[in-house]
Amino acid sequence: GESVGLHLPTLSVQEGDNSIINCAYSNSASDYFIWYKQESGKGPQFIIDIRSNMDKRQGQRVTVLLNKTVKHLSLQIAATQPGDSAVYFCAENGSSNTGKLIFGQGTTLQVKP
């Protein structure tokens, strides 16, 4: 079946350091990927996305890298801040036109002051 997974359930970083959250996906037909951030007690919030015709996309303090050869996605957060503490999910669109977004299991990012 389709699955999107993350390599580490919890990542702990020092404030100011860079964070890297990884994700492995299994559906080679996926052509669109998203990272979401979920803070405690809230719903997931869109951070950044990338299409399969790109291998890197940058936002404000965040960068998403896509390696289609090994079906790997990563989210890099520069100068991590306490407000970045949350659960991060990668998601893929799976086979085209299904209308479904498939989420990975989430990585909890803890930022130590």
Partner 1 sequence: DTAVSQTPKYLVTQMGNDKSIKCEQNLGHDTMYWYKQDSKKFLKIMFSYNNKELIINETVPNRFSPKSPDKAHLNLHINSLELGDSAVYFCASTVSTGVYEKLFFGSGTQLSVL
Name the residues that contact partner 1, by CB under 8 A. Answer: 32, 34, 38, 41-46, 49, 87, 89, 91, 93, 97-103, 105-106, 108
| CA 65 – CA 77 distance, rounded (Å) | 12
Minimal CA–CA distance to 102: which of 57, 71, 80?
71
Complex with partner 1: residue 60 or 97, whichever CB lies closer: 97
Q: For residue 37, give the H/E element and its range.
A: strand 32-38
Residue 9: CB minimum distance to partner 1, A: 9
Residue 99 or 113: the one with the smaller Cβ distance to partner 1 is 99
Give yes or no for a contact between 73 and 84, defined as CB atoms under 8 angstroms apart. Answer: no
- Indicate the residue among 94 and 111 with the shorter CB distance to partner 1: 94
